[in-house]
Structure 1
Amino acid sequence: MNQVIKVRASSWGSLFNCAYSWEGVHLLGIKSPSGPRALLGTAIHAGTAAFDTARVNGAPIDATEAAEQMLQELRFPEYDVDWRGADITPKQAERTGLALLSLYCTEVSPRYEFVAVEMETKPMLIDCGDGITIQLTGTLDRARIRKENDRIGISDVKTGGAAVVMGVAKTAPHRAQIGTYELLFEHTSGIAITAPADIIGLRTKGAPEYGIGEITGARDLMVGTEDYPGLIQIGAQMFRSGLFPPNPQAHTCSQQYCPRWSSCPYHA
């Protein structure tokens, strides 16, 4: 019997952080309340997306109007948020979000010529063998498609307390996700990605700060080369076997980040 497993493109990178946790969340449906820091990131993304979408549509808005979208998301989330024991209050979250959104709207977004924001994609089928097929679905979450000198590239907004280090956005954790986005964009549009990807980091702890980091070779990381297999090939082995290895050394291996943590036998 053939089995088609739907996988959101934005989740692919976390498969290689801790596959056991990824299986729990994305295949078994184990959920836990979101934290305030995650909500803050979601709200900032809503504000930046509103600002950039308006630019792409030829009807630009200012940072104040984008802030309304961000505050709406922050104050009235559509999912449970656990503020107990949080290291940030709702008011602090609002101040941080507004400061970062202002930086983004005035200093970051104007540097780019975006042609699409969080683009919808066509499902992409990946044959894993043994009757197992992965169907990559979804939007290019939090990503923009940009044009520079007739080349197309991905720009992806990332938030977090350590999203920016010494003035540069962290890129290493995001290469697999970017590679998936590049594949899906090419699959959907028929246009090749030829420009490097940019990670636009917005730091949510400490003084508000943004940084930009560049990623090259993300597509090859996914599909492989003559010298090494791609992450798609390696991931296909997990789906084919049904074995999703744990990673007790993952930075997200804690009750705060992993809804499977309380029943996981592999962490310390």
Structure 2
Amino acid sequence: MSVTTIRASSWGSLFNCAYQWEFVHILGHRSPGSPRSQLGTAIHASTAAFDASRINGSGFSAFDTAELFVHTLRNPDFDVDWRGADITLAQAEATGLKLHTMYCNEISPRYDFVAIELTTKPLEIDCGNGVIVRLTGQLDRARICKSGDGVGIADVKTGGAAVSKGVAKTGSHAAQIGTYEILYEHTTGEPVTAEAHIIGLKTRGAPEAGVGEIRGAKQMMVGTEEFPGLIQIGAEMLRTGLFPPNPQSFTCSAKYCPRWSTCPYHT
């Protein structure tokens, strides 16, 4: 039997460019961290601390948890080269503090959170032909919240185009959210019945926050009698060892893809 461990956060990139995904997640090659990804990491750390304080009753303010944002931004866990970046450390700090405050004061109070970044039990899925996919990992940056419809996933996403006209972009996040829903149900035994929310925080231009909804994400992953789920399709790639390239991918460049220099599928 062949067991392949796949983190929820990587599913979307598998179908963006499987050839790139294989190089990163199977062969273990990664690009250095970028200043903008470090900005996102810092925002996630400080907003998660704020939400956790709401759950445990410690009542930290936006000002209290902003210190964690600054510390995380300035002390990355990996190499970040600010030289030649399209944003300076000072600009990133100013943008991040505005978004952190916006999130804490305007977005977080809308939700009744019950868990932050829940660590899940691994789930092994027998896909046939000797292929087992093990879904694993923390619900990275995700919040579990209760609503009138039950329990749902709320996931924070940062980026230069994370929000458009006041609404968070959701199109590229459904596979990750669907995997989160599967793992949450497997870990807790509690069904996810509410729609998922993407909480977008725009890091380029004027800081902006917005929320977008995702429905049917788990169905996309597991499929129906009429169409295969993404898990089954991904398992077929793993079984055959064939990971199709995508020369039209938005990450098909030396900036984003560590396989770009040796990839024969782009011009």
Aligned length: 267
Kept in 1, the 8 Å contact 2:160–2:204? The answer is yes
Matched with 1:82 is: 81
> How big is the shift at 1:54?
1.1
* Equivalent residue letter for 1:193: V
- Deviating above 6 A after TM superposition, structure 1's stretches of 4 or more consecutive aligned residues are none
* Equivalent residue letter for 2:156: V
Matched with 1:196 is: 195
TM-score of the two chains, using structure 2 as the length reference: 0.98
Matched with 1:71 is: 70
How far apart in 1 are the matches of 2:243 and 2:135?
A: 18
Q: What residue ranges of structure 2 are gaps of 5+ in the alignment?
A: none
* Equivalent residue letter for 1:235: G
User: What aligned pairs does 1:45-124 form with structure 2 within 5 A after superposition?
Assistant: 45-124=44-123
How far apart in 2 are the matches of 1:266 and 1:84?
A: 30
How far apart in 1 are the matches of 2:25 and 2:55?
A: 32
Q: Deviations over 1:79-137 (max 9, x none)?
A: 01122321000000000000000000000000000000010000010113222211111
Q: Deviations over 1:166-214 (max 9, x none)?
A: 1110001001110000000001111111000000000000111001000
> How big is the shift at 1:7?
1.3
- Secondary structure of the 1:16 match is helix
User: What aligned pairs does 1:224-235 form with structure 2 within 5 A after superposition?
Assistant: 224-235=223-234
How far apart in 2 are the matches of 1:221 and 1:150?
A: 20
> How big is the shift at 1:150?
5.7
How far apart in 2 are the matches of 1:4 and 1:149?
A: 39
Matched with 1:157 is: 156
How far apart in 1 are the matches of 2:247 and 2:206?
A: 31
Report sequence identity in percent: 66
* Equivalent residue letter for 1:205: R
> How big is the shift at 1:226?
2.5
TM-score of the two chains, using structure 1 as the length reference: 0.97
Matched with 1:187 is: 186
How far apart in 1 are the matches of 2:134 and 2:219?
A: 19
How far apart in 2 are the matches of 1:143 and 1:15?
A: 20
Compare 54-63 and 108-117 and name the one that shifted more: 54-63
* Equivalent residue letter for 1:13: G
Task: Please report the RMSD computed on the Cα atoms of aligned residues, expressed in angstroms.
Answer: 1.0
